[in-house]
A and B are shown apart, each in its own frame.
Chain A
Amino acid sequence: MIKRGTKSAVATCCVACFLLIAVLSSCGRHNGGTGQAGSGGKAMDSTLVIAMLGDADYLNPVLGSTVTSGNIIGLVYPSLLQSEFDTTSGLLNYMALEKKLRDVTPGQAKKTPKGALAKRWTMSEDHKSITYILRSDAFWNDGQPVVSGDFKFSYKLYGNPVIASARQQYLAELVGADKGQVDFDKAIETPDDTTLVFRFYKPVPEHLALFHTSLTPLPAHQWKNVKPDEFRHSPINLTPLGAGPYHLKNWKQQQEIVLASSRKSNLPKPGTIPQIIFRVVPDYTVRLAQLQTGAVDVVENIKPEDFTALMRANKQIDVKTVGLRVYDYVGWSNIDQKEYRRSGRVRPHPLFGSARVRLALTQAIDREAIIDGYLKEYGVICNTDVSPSLKWAYNDRITPHAFDPAKATALLKAEGWLPGPDGILQKQGKKFSFVLYTNSGNARRNYASVIIQQNLRSVGIECKLEVEESNVFFENLQQRKLDAWMAGWSIGLEIDPLDVWGSDLKRSRFNFTGYQNPRLDQLCDLAKQKMDPTGARPYWLEYQEILHRDQPITFLYWMKETQGFSKRIEGEELNISGTFYNIDDWRLRPSANVAP
């Protein structure tokens, strides 16, 4: 009796367990979204799958700040202008339907201006206002027209401190911004639905005015009743209303974002691929495996060490690169950080205070060896923070400091650093010994740091390595607690380096080295005053010479970001402005090799 009872109880438990699991499993199923009939195989044929590291934070242009958000917002929302990157000059070009900022070298222009909301623009003589004439045939997905009022409404949101948009910097030249508060009534005028006027408190170069006034608009009629303090958590954030080539079909948070081509869109046209899925796959190895099996079509930032195996394993995979936008460097404290933190006084750093010592350090580091060993053809020696891709400003007369331990030793000797009994250089009883910090989880920097350690040891410098969790590392960097570190920067397409090199250490938040050079400040200011960017070329050439001479940091290498692509994708154009630059024009070739 007891036995039978126990058995049936166990059986009941098992059945209950199974049912519970089945119910739980299907919980996430009906999260909205109209299902697509058919098997996975059929779905794949009309679906592009992009693996991403993390989910979008917001699909709202005022708030979205992750890379994924940016990619999706670009496909869902309309934009005032279209931009294209001219690879021959390295200049960014802005286009309205009937006007271009500049003519791009023939053969380079690949982007159509048809997606622009603006028909044309006029910059005032004094460069203090810009007037856009908008097209009248642009509509949000719900059929309402896109009007100039949407822009004014959105700019107020961008500028609202309660909303804390990461793009409020774009409003920094509008009327009133110099007094701390943009005066929206004067700064943005909308005399009618198709006229939009921005007014600045100072003359602004045309390319900058275009850049700063082309923030993505939100539909005012959808958002007008949302209070600013509810903006960040409003449920409307989950159902974005756009007008671009794609619309949001389904968003399973932390899993996937499904976009479907907007059949009615005329900005510029419905997306060619019917459905694009952005899938969250946090683990790098799994992303690679999925690219290899064909479960996903695009994986960004593939490590060079994985290329050969990947392409050998699956002939249908190609690795593509974009321009040089990211570099790694070794940062040296130019000033005594302890003293600066304590008293605010600026004194040269006991080890790295002299430009000659920093030059010796650069010469002692074998940058070619790091590139050959890790990045291979995807790395280029870096001289300064002006990218070779920005050809209009790049100084190609600078020759990189060659790896030359003998010269480095001589320079160090001239600075008074002589070998001590243990082989480590000494000066007035102080050893040349320091800790080189870097952030955790970066295989490339780990690789480079070991080579740097060996290189420096061979000229008698003791370099200890320490890895810190990224958050901690960044905080220590900001608080000027590190003497030497390895990190990297991703540069903007407009050159604006004062944040990193400005002599006013309080204002230049990212001048972690404490480097100060009034001529550099002056050059940056002079360049900014030029109404045509190419006019600033001489200033940028001198700027690069100064950085090359002073070596405030050791610039290591530029990296070509490498993206893995399934060959069933056709028509893709990658360039420095992004991997998904023309994704609405991509096509999918149905292929037997694509796994269902």
Chain B
Amino acid sequence: MLSYIFKRFLIAIPLVFGVLTLTFFIIRLAPGDPAAFFIQPGISPNVAEQIRAQYGLNDPVPVQYVKWLAKVLQGDFGRSFSRAQQPVFDVIASALPITMTIALLTLVANFAFGILIGVISAIRQNTFLDRFLTVTALFFYSMPEFWFALMMIILFALKLPLFPASGLNEIGAEGFGPVEFILDRFWHLVLPVTVLSINGAAGIARYVRGSMLEVIRQDYIRTARAKGLPENIVIFRHALRNALLPVITLMGSSLPFIFSGALFIEVIFAFPGMGRVTVEAIFARDYPLIIANTFISGSLIVLGNLFADVLYAVADPRIKL
């Protein structure tokens, strides 16, 4: 397996590199100018020129590419244009913990509720409960996240003021004790995590239901029942384990989400996470930050797929890597 993982890593390097090169050219060829903000009446026309010169944007694109490549090969992804010229990885490092908190909580809730609902739907197939869960899941699955988030805010922050509408902490939270501080943080995370996980769990439930239905019709399940095993052992030990194979793929593909953030939710709930960094970088045409973000999410998608493949082998001994 180790040599397989090693080989996959080797293939990943040119792949990620290709993605970065493509991104480099696409963002530079797209309309918009990182110095556009400085082109307005009352600001000397020299300023935009000076800013462009500082960012090295006056060179022809191929020259910019060679210069960029030389730096990236030394691990230098440059400084952000739009965020006070901080090194891009500093920007990312400050946004990452916030995004990871939301994403990990969301993923745990996603999979826990998704699997539970999926299993219940499958074993109670075609009952009222199954139909109710299916319709509800589809209802939430097809709802746009940003709209759902706004509705939740209107309901639970405005009409019934139970949760805060935005921010990570209460005003003056710096003076709280550690337990109070963390509780306050969790209180602020309830709405966004609920929005994200209801949406996600609904999707996962559909997958689990489908694969569970397939599995419980298999001969070995009938055998397990025939030898007199209790139903919950049949379902959870024999059926669920096999039904979870497709879910593992989903887990792998969720890995980038942990680091890339939920774009709309972070903007709506005013979380300074990776999603907002990405959106704002795109609007500000902050090339180095866009590239660094692409690097992170590109690498993670590759890693996530590899992780899923390895998990397959762990979950199903028939698969040999």
Chain B residues, CB < 8 A from A47:
171-172
Q: Mark the stretch among B18-26, B44-52, B130-138, B243-251 that contacts chain A.
A: B44-52
A4 within 8 A of partner (CB)? no
A226 contacts chain B at the CB level, 8 A cutoff: no
Q: Could you jot down 28 A-B contacts, CB within 8 Å?
A: A3-B237, A24-B97, A24-B98, A25-B97, A25-B185, A26-B185, A28-B98, A44-B172, A57-B83, A65-B37, A164-B38, A166-B38, A167-B43, A169-B43, A232-B54, A233-B79, A233-B85, A254-B276, A255-B167, A279-B167, A285-B153, A286-B270, A469-B32, A470-B283, A475-B32, A475-B33, A476-B31, A492-B41
User: Which residues from A are CB-within-8-Å of B173?
Assistant: 40
Give every chain B residue within 8 A of A469 (Cβ-Cβ). 32
Interface residues as binary, A26-59 with B (CB distance below 8 Å gives 1, 0 otherwise) = 1111000101111110111001010000100110
Interface residues on A, range: 35 or more
Cβ proximity bits B32-71 to A, threshold 8 Å, 1 near / 0 not: 1100111111111111001100100000000000000000
On whether the beta carbons of B186 and A25 are closer than 8 Å, the reply is yes
- Rounded to whole Å, the gap between the CB of B206 and the closest CB of chain A is 24
A381 at the interface (CB under 8 A from B): no
Q: Count of B residues near A, CB < 8 Å?
A: 66
A contact residues around B259 at 8 Å (CB): none
Q: A49–B171 contact, CB under 8 A? A: yes
* B31 x A475 contact (CB < 8 A): yes
B38 near A65: Cβ-Cβ < 8 Å: yes
Decide yes or no whether B154 CB sits under 8 A from chain A.
yes
Q: Which of A20, A161, A470 has the most chain B CB atoms closer than 10 A to its own CB?
A: A161
Asked if A289 is at the interface of the complex by the 8 Å CB criterion, the answer is yes
B33's nearest neighbour on chain A, judged by CB, is A475
Task: Assess whether A322 is interfacial by the CB under 8 Å rule.
Answer: no
Q: Taking the nearest CB of chain B, how far is it from the CB of A178, in angstroms? A: 14
Q: Which residues of A contact B178 (CB under 8 A)?
A: 26
Bound CA–CA A279/B181 (angstroms): 18
Q: Are B42 and A169 in contact (CB under 8 A)?
A: yes
Asked whether, in the complex, the Cβ of B50 is within 8 Å of the Cβ of A29, the reply is no
Dominant secondary structure at the B interface: helix
Contacts of A12 in B (CB 8 A): none
Interchain nearest-CB distance for A378 vs B (Å): 24
| Residues of B near any A CB (own CB < 8 A) | 31-33, 36-47, 50-51, 54, 79, 82-86, 94-95, 97-98, 100-101, 104-105, 108, 150, 153-154, 157-158, 161, 164-168, 170-175, 178, 181-182, 185-186, 189, 237, 267-270, 272, 276, 280, 283, 285
Q: Give every chain A residue within 8 A of B85 (Cβ-Cβ).
A: 232-233
Contact at B42–A286, with CB atoms within 8 Å? Answer: no
A237 touches B181 (CB 8 A): no
- When A21-B105, A35-B174 are in contact, do A293 and B158 touch as well, CB less than 8 Å? yes
**B101 and A281 contact, CB distance less than 8 A:** no
A42 touching B172, Cβ below 8 Å:
yes
A residues 292-334 near B (Cβ < 8 Å) are 292-293, 295, 313
How far in angstroms is the closest Cβ of chain B from A471?
4
A293 touches B41 (CB 8 A): no
A165 interface residue (CB < 8 Å to B):
yes
A172 interface hit (Cβ, 8 Å) = yes
- Set A168, A172, A253, A499: member contacting B41, Cβ < 8 A: A499
Write the nearest CB–CB distance from A398 to chain B, whole angstroms.
23
Across the interface, do B272 and A474 meet the contact criterion of CB distance under 8 Å? no
State whether B86 touches A290 (Cβ < 8 A).
no
Beyond A167-B43, A282-B270, list 19 extra A-B contacts (CB 8 Å). Answer: A25-B97, A25-B101, A25-B182, A25-B189, A42-B172, A44-B171, A162-B54, A164-B46, A164-B47, A250-B174, A254-B272, A286-B269, A286-B270, A289-B157, A292-B158, A470-B283, A471-B283, A472-B31, A474-B39
